[in-house]
Chain A
Amino acid sequence: MAPQQSRTDIASVDVLPQVRLVGVTKRFGAVVANNAISLSLMPGRIKALLGENGAGKSTLMAMLAGRFKPDEGHIEVAGRRADFTSPREAIDAGIGMVYQHFMLVENMTVAENVLLGQEGGFLLDPAAMRATVSALAGRFGLPIDPAARVGDLSMGERQRVEILKLLHRQSRVLIFDEPTAVLTPPEAEALFSALRTMSAQGKAIVFISHKLEEVLAVADEIAILRRGRIEGEFLATEVDSPAELARRMVGRDVVLDIARAPVPLGRAVLDVRGLSGGGLKDVSLNLRQGEILAVVGVAGNGQQQLVEVVCGLSRPETGEVELLGHGWDAFSKHHDWDGALAWVPEDRAGLATCRSLDLTDNLLLTTRQGFSRGQWLQRARAREAARRIVRENNVQPGRIGLPAWQLSGGNLQKFVLGRELLRKPRLLVAEQPTQGLDISATEAVWQQLLAARADMGVLLVTGDLAEALALADRVAVMFRGRVMGQFPVTDAAQVERIGALMAGLSEDAA
């Protein structure tokens, strides 16, 4: 097909979106993962879908890929309603996904991977296969050696193989899930130019990311997804700076109005001075009993590394970390199960709990020293305590004999928080504590945290600015492993600049 011809093809269908989502809603129990989402994916356009973890991006993609069915609304392909019952149907309809984890056979060549399952006849013709792949790669500006073994390729090259697979299947809509997460900066640049080439040839492209600069660099249109809703959709040219985009992404709207009585400050529980290494650069923070310090920022800017150091999983490379008045080494080796440190991790189902153990055993996971006499476990007492947590925090369903995997995320989170507070910590680390939770569970968790701060210092790591402003006494903004600013939430001028700080714009740059 000559390029001129394809141009006219595009022009004729340009009025029609390639794929349209019409009022699509998806619920998991009480959680609305996607709420009445309407989006149009146009041929020849790159649409960026921007949102924090847990905003509902993966649910949306799973529906486009035919893995979930929407509870309400529907998907249209080329103007016709399509109800996918399997991933195969979505692929046949021309929707292709490039996932973060590549689905390639490492021992096969590039050409074999691209043509896998579509070789045509019984006999293979390697030379013809290589020629097909070369032609395809040349047309879309994805240089690659079709004879190379995939296992020998870099991440960027593997990603090109994934894209070629979709192009060979005539996918008209290509969806990229955080495609630059595994790429080096030059590889990312090459990807961007390939994206532009593909869109120029009439493909509709969706680019999912939470990296602001990239979105501005590559997208024609930007849609912001927050708590399951499209919170805004606009042309990339309407946005002046990453700071403005950050502001639009994290939002400031108060989801819940929550009363916050001041609490007298006590002793210092955490003192970090000049912590560097492992992605962190000269981080200094301090936290006292009676306050909540929110660490905000776009995910992947060093929050994870900071939590791992504070919680004793990785040793600080340089800098001082003092916990409850002890040095890091002394504290991490010998701290007591209670009266010291408790941690509510982001991964509540895979890390904070064991999915197949019941609630009593999951209670014992971090409190077992408190429920044993010598080597003997006191299960009856543990059951009583588990029942109390379930009752006081309204964990549903309230049966402590259920395995953890049968609880919804919100109920599991209330249980985990109740368990960690049972340890009477003086330093509590809470990571994304309300991610994916519905409004009532969010409010319950917030109340728990606010009440808890009278007896402890709370380090709240969150990507949700509304949460940080509702709960925290002070805010620290992280960007690329640095703390860009640290100030009380009452400092209105500074709070106004959070978006800019999250995008890496400091005083002198602004």
Chain B
Amino acid sequence: MNVVIRRRETSLGWGALVVYLGALALALGICAVLLMLSGKPGLGGLAILFRGAFGQGYSLLDGLVKAIPIFLCSLGVALSFRMQIWNIGAEGQFALGAVGATFVALALPGQPWPVLLPLMFLAAMLAGGLWGLIPAGLRLWLGVNEIISSLMLNYVGILFLEFLVFGVWKDPGSFGFPMTAEFSPGGQIGRMGPALGLNLGKLHWGLLACPLAGVAYGVFLSRTRLGFELAACGEGERVARYANLPYGFLVLLVMGLGGALAGLAGSIECSATLGRLQPTVMVGYGYTAIVVAWLARLKPWPIAFTSFLLASLRVGVEVLELRLQIPAAFGQIMEGAILLCVLAGQFFLDYSVSVRFARLRRADSAAPGLEERA
């Protein structure tokens, strides 16, 4: 038997959809098996999950609310992934954004929202962006791998947040719970429902940041010179040097912008969902964002869609946790299974695999041949 792997010369078109659906089905199958292994109904569990995630209007709205921070963080990491800079630090940048926004909200109580909210966003983006610049600078000037440094800085950022909330920022009236005082009304992003006269659940005006950031991301990459230079840098530092691209500046730019977007997500989450800062603001959106960016192959529309999908998955798993007493880690297992299956499936988008049964006389020397037309 001879397995021949060739690079595709034309893209797969609609066949890609089959690949993605197949990968998704495989991932769900794995999850069903895991459920059964822990003594729960496998397919029944998946049904509960789906109804929980998509079955009701409010569950869809809940998914949308959770998709907002994921989408913003994901755009940020996708920007750096474009030029092969591996920013794993969205979680920490998100934390710093929440801290920055809280600082402004606590320092300027009673200001009207047109003053307070923009200042909070600005502070959040500044804090997140600077946090993102640390691994960029370490990489450029000391040659430190940005994967390690950005990942480690997540823990530093989260601990810094907790240090503030458990200490100087703790609300005296919180009965010892680690949380700040509630933001003044001008520091809280309102819900969309009452203003529009609709029942939109917890959906809030922070949603507007998504189309704004998404359009800016798309225009930046496809229409500006810097955006083009960024994509070209993704081909490696040698090409960047040949073409005289500002490699170092671009590394700082993508890490700064990525941090700013994650910081913005942190401030929105604090201000709209919690109305204050508390450690529960950190639920791993920054890590989910990395999964989303990969699944969506760094393109803005797929990032939006995938953010919503994985946010809904979180909603569904919450229902599953309650109904079947499944540990919360199951959501992460599902996320991981989907990522691995889809990434493995993406191999088939770029390569065609054919199996040839060669002459039987050499059946013993089954050797895989790997060919790539350059």
A405 at the interface (CB under 8 A from B): yes
Verify A354–B239 contact, CB threshold 8 A: yes
A109 to B223, CA, bound (A): 55
From B9, B224, B235, contact of A377 by CB (8 A): B224
B241 at the interface (CB under 8 A from A): yes
The closest CB in chain A to the CB of B229 belongs to A368
Verify A366–B2 contact, CB threshold 8 A: no
Complex interface: chain A residues within 8 A of B374 (CB): 349, 405
Q: Mark B48-66, 1 if CB is under 8 A from A, else 0.
A: 0000000000000000000
Verify A357–B231 contact, CB threshold 8 A: yes
Complex interface: chain A residues within 8 A of B365 (CB): 86, 88-89, 92
A268 to B45, CA, bound (A): 79
Task: Please indicate which of the listed interface residues B2, B229, B244 has the most CB atoms of chain A within 10 Å of its own CB.
Answer: B244
A162 at the interface (CB under 8 A from B): no
From A85, A357, A364, A376, contact of B2 by CB (8 A): A85
Q: From DSSP, what is the main secondary structure of chain B's interface residues? A: helix
A168 to B239, CA, bound (A): 42
A351 at the interface (CB under 8 A from B): yes
Task: Please indicate which of the listed interface residues A375, A379, A406 has the most CB atoms of chain B within 10 Å of its own CB.
Answer: A375
Min CB distance B368 to A, Å, is 8
B369 at the interface (CB under 8 A from A): yes
- Those of A348-366 within 8 Å (CB) of chain B: 349-352, 354-357, 361, 364-366
Verify A365–B224 contact, CB threshold 8 A: no
Chain A residues touching B, range: 20 to 34
Given contacts A349-B374, A366-B243, contact A86 B228 (CB under 8 A): no
Verify A351–B223 contact, CB threshold 8 A: no
Verify B224–A351 contact, CB threshold 8 A: no
- Those of A311-366 within 8 Å (CB) of chain B: 313, 337, 343, 345, 349-352, 354-357, 361, 364-366
B37 at the interface (CB under 8 A from A): no
Verify A361–B232 contact, CB threshold 8 A: yes
Complex interface: chain A residues within 8 A of B229 (CB): 368
Given contacts A351-B238, A357-B232, contact A406 B9 (CB under 8 A): yes
Q: Mark B201-239, 1 if CB is under 8 A from A, else 0.
A: 000000000000000000000011111110110010011
Given contacts A89-B362, A92-B365, A375-B224, contact A365 B2 (CB under 8 A): no
Verify A364–B242 contact, CB threshold 8 A: no
Verify A368–B228 contact, CB threshold 8 A: yes
A488 at the interface (CB under 8 A from B): no
Given contacts A88-B367, A89-B362, contact A352 B242 (CB under 8 A): yes
A87 at the interface (CB under 8 A from B): yes
Min CB distance A305 to B, Å, is 15
A361 to B230, CA, bound (A): 12
A356 to B350, CA, bound (A): 12
Verify B367–A87 contact, CB threshold 8 A: yes
A372 at the interface (CB under 8 A from B): yes
Complex interface: chain A residues within 8 A of B227 (CB): 377
| Listed A/B pairs (15) with beta-carbon separation below 8 Å | A86-B2, A86-B367, A87-B367, A313-B241, A349-B374, A350-B238, A350-B239, A354-B235, A357-B232, A366-B243, A375-B226, A377-B224, A377-B225, A377-B227, A406-B9
The 5 lowest CB-CB distance pairs between A and B, nearest first, are A88-B367, A354-B235, A86-B367, A372-B225, A365-B243
Task: Point out residues on A near B: beta carbons under 8 Å.
Answer: 85-89, 92, 313, 337, 343, 345, 349-352, 354-357, 361, 364-366, 368-369, 372, 375-377, 379, 405-406
Query: A343-B242, A368-B228, A372-B225 given. 14 additional CB < 8 A pairs?
Result: A85-B369, A86-B367, A351-B239, A354-B232, A357-B231, A361-B228, A361-B231, A364-B228, A364-B232, A366-B242, A368-B229, A369-B225, A377-B223, A405-B374
